Structures are given as structure tokens and as C-alpha cells.
Structure 1
């Protein structure tokens, strides 16, 4: 009977999403997940990983720390 009064204390994975991710967003997310799974947890190696594995950034030919920060900020604001 108490179960109906208990609510989960976490955010549902897609609760805050306003639209389906684009193919580019899915590729970027997959690459970030692979990088984190391989133990990469700092910015410079992450940028190197993305430049080697893709996807290519939308605004330039190569990822830099500044390009990655701007892209993650842009995606978070959507």
C-alpha cells in the first residue's frame, strides 16, 4: 500500500529530452561513451580520441578543447 506514495529519486533517462537525438548527436554520444569506457577522463585525451575515432565536429575539421566545450554547451542548451 505504501508503494503508491513512494516516488523514484532519480531522473528518467529521457525525461528532459524535447526531441529525438540526431544521427550526429548519437555518434558523438557513442564516441564519448567509448572514450570513457576505455578510461579516458581528461580533456586532452578525450579530444585526441574524438579526432581519431570521430565524428568530426560540425564547425571545423578537428576537435580542440574549445570546440568540444562549445559543442557540449550548445547541445546542453537544446
Structure 2
């Protein structure tokens, strides 16, 4: 049986590993920048783009930049996303 926990950020004592927690990998709430970037990525995937070249082109076309304000490239996407996940 699968149970969805309504609290997106349960206290550790409430988090049981057999429950699905939609944001279980988060260590903190996302920033406004991260929310907007996530929305831009979701729009890109919804438009049928599923390759890295198309993703970075779409992010740039939408006016989304890296956290340091630079355009997205295939070379910087992975390292920037890895840094943001820490």
C-alpha cells in the first residue's frame, strides 16, 4: 500500500521510509529563483523537448539565466545543477 504524506517537509521523526514524500530529497524549501527555474524546465519538457541542447536553448529563450546571471550552455548546465543541489 502506498500512502502520500500531505506535509511536504515532515519532521524527521514523522518521515517513515515506506511513505511517498514528493519532495523527500529537499534539505530546505526552494528559493524563488529555483521555483522559477523549475517552472521553465517543466514548460520545456511539456513542449516536448527532452535533450540537453534543446533544454538550454529553451531556458535561454525564456530569459532564464544561471544563478550568476550567465546564459545556459550544455557545458555549464550539469555543474550548475549539481552545485544547486548541495
TM-score category of the 2 structures, normalised to the smaller one: 0.7 to 0.9
Counterpart among 12, 28, 31 of residue 19 in structure 1: 28
Distance 1:25 1:39, change over 3 A: same
Report whether the alignment pairs 1:62 with 2:81. no
Q: Which has the larger radius of gyration?
A: 1
Aligned length: 72
RMSD: 1.9
Contact 1:31-1:53 within 8 A present in 2 as well: yes
Under a length normalisation based on structure 2, what TM-score does the superposition of the two structures give? 0.71
Answer whether contact 2:44 2:58 (CA < 8 A) is retained.
yes
Q: Does 1:40 align with 2:22?
A: no
| Preserved CA contact (<8 Å) 1:28 1:54 | no
Runs of at least 5 residues in structure 2 that lack an aligned partner in the other structure: 4-17
- Listed one character per residue, the Cα deviations across residues 27-66 of structure 1 (whole Å, up to 9, x for unaligned) are 1100000000000000111110000103211235211011
Q: Which has the higher contact order (CA 8 A, sep 6+)?
A: 1
TM score, norm. by length of structure 1: 0.77
